[in-house]
Amino acid sequence: MSLKRFTEHALSEWMRGKGPQSDIVISSRVRVARNLSGLPFPMLATSAQSSQVVRRVEEALYAAKELPVLKEAELIRMDDLSELEKRVLVEKHLISPQLAEESRHGAVVLSKDEAISIMINEEDHIRIQVLYPGFQPQEAWRIANQLDDWFEKHLTYAFSEQTGYLTSCPTNVGTGIRASVMVHLPALAITKQLSRLFPAITQVGLAVRGIYGEGSEALGNLYQVSNQVTLGQREEEIIDKLASVVKQMIQHEQSARRRLAEGTPIQLEDRLYRSYGVLSQARVISTKEAMERLSDLRLGIDMGILSDIDANVMNELIVMTQPGFLQQYAQERLDSQERDIRRAVMIRERLHHEGTEDEQ
């Protein structure tokens, strides 16, 4: 069952954490917004026009299957998914909440490794997204660019010489590009340097937010840094600027970790061990506490204080302990109390099955 494969197979490539600088950078993502010429944007499109968009993308996709990266890609319609299945895709960052909840004739094209997801009829007709583990925004752009070129052979985009690629929202016009990098900054948080760092980042035209997008809380010291400007700069300039700022954040986090390690106060060591204790023994745990403890666990692993634990545990568990995932795993609807119990079970199992490949 291919749908099962997408929603039940727990791990996307980006959660495996095998990328450059993966001790600090969880994932890199590039999204490109495009619209088809001659059709109104999804907000004003009629039902017939929206389904025409899906059909045209599907035809282009058929031709694009020659592309190795899209070889076993599949087009999934939102109308064919249950609420829970959609939620799991949102939690895996493969689709947006808007596509899941509000779109008409919404659909997504997913590559087999889930590194590529192409949303159809979200705010724009087409949103090409490439999501890679670790710090590789340039590589993500290279693939997104290639996919864009391929689609453009078969589809005519809304484009103007003056303003570039035309998008539904004026904040995306021009290149239509949004590049973001998800970083784990526990040492900067402990040493209280984030409040100085973030204003500087906003000043150079980048945005910082929590991991589930606009308005979401920054749980587990995880932050998304992304570009704001899409018009008037070349794509490569946008990506390079983001990359160079994130590089500096990585250096700051590294030096904060070094300083912490030099004279690791017993209080810090105690806190990290306690978090490990809670995660491996708790019977009831909330999302918020799980995220905070997992952040500690990951810091402990990266600083060499906690050993014999796979560093990917955090990357996997931050997604797998989300409400949708837990319910998918349990194969039933769970209220929030039941979820806190199941979350504790899942974390214990994952920590105790350390080193085994298959967690089924």
Residue numbers in the known binding site for ATP are: 27-31, 93, 127, 178-182, 209-214
Length of the chain: 360
In the bound state with another protein, the residue whose beta carbon lies nearer, of 234 and 288, is 234
In this structure, what DSSP letter does residue 233 have?
A: S
Q: In whole angstroms, how close is the CB of 150 to another protein at the nearest point?
A: 10
The residue (of 8 and 40) whose beta carbon lies closer to another protein is 40
Contact indicator for 108, 118 with CB cutoff of 8 Å? yes
Please identify, using beta-carbon distances, which residue of 161 and 335 lies nearer to another protein.
161
Closest approach of Cβ 238 to another protein, in Å? 8
Classify burial at 37, counting beta carbons within 10 Å of its beta carbon; exposed 0-12, middle 13-18, buried 19 or more. Answer: exposed
Give residues with Cβ within 8 angstroms of 344, minimum separation 6: 282, 283, 284, 285
| Cβ distance to another protein smaller for residue 203 or 336 | 203
Q: How far is the CB of 32 from another protein (least distance, A)?
A: 9
Alpha carbon 22 to its chain centroid, in Å, reads 14
Please state, in angstroms and rounded to a whole number, the distance separating the CA atoms of residues 45 and 50: 6
Residues 215 and 247: their CA atoms lie apart, in Å, by: 25
User: Minimum CB separation from another protein for residue 43, in Å?
Assistant: 6
CA distance linking residue 108 with residue 111, whole number of Å? 10
Q: Which one-letter amino acid corresponds to residue 128? A: I
Alpha-carbon gap, residue 11 to 315, rounded angstroms = 10
Tell me the C-alpha distance between 78 and 3, whole Å.
12
- In terms of CB distance, is 154 or 348 closer to another protein? 154
Which residues lie closer than 8 Å to 162 by C-beta, 6 or more apart? none
Cα torsion for 23, 25, 26, 27, to the nearest 10°? -140
Nearer to another protein, 3 or 63 (CB): 63
Q: How far is the CB of 96 from another protein (least distance, A)?
A: 13
Confirm if 297 and 272 have CB atoms less than 8 A apart: yes
Q: What are phi and psi of 34, to 5 degrees?
A: -140, 150
- Residue numbers of the site for another protein (CB under 8 A)? 35, 37, 39-41, 43-47, 102, 104, 123, 145, 148-149, 152-153, 156-171, 173-175, 177, 205, 214-215, 228-235
Query: Is the CB of 15 or the CB of 206 nearer to another protein?
Result: 206
Binding site, by residue number, is 27-31, 93, 127, 178-182, 209-214
CB of 287 to another protein, least distance (A): 23
CB of 207 to another protein, least distance (A): 10
Distance separating alpha carbons of residues 304 and 108, to the nearest angstrom: 41
Structure tokens at 84: 């829970």
Report in angstroms how near the CB of residue 282 gets to another protein at its nearest.
35
The residue among 10, 21, 6 whose CA lies nearest residue 311 is 21
Of 98, 94, 116, 114, residue with least CA distance to 106: 98
157 or 329: CB nearest another protein = 157
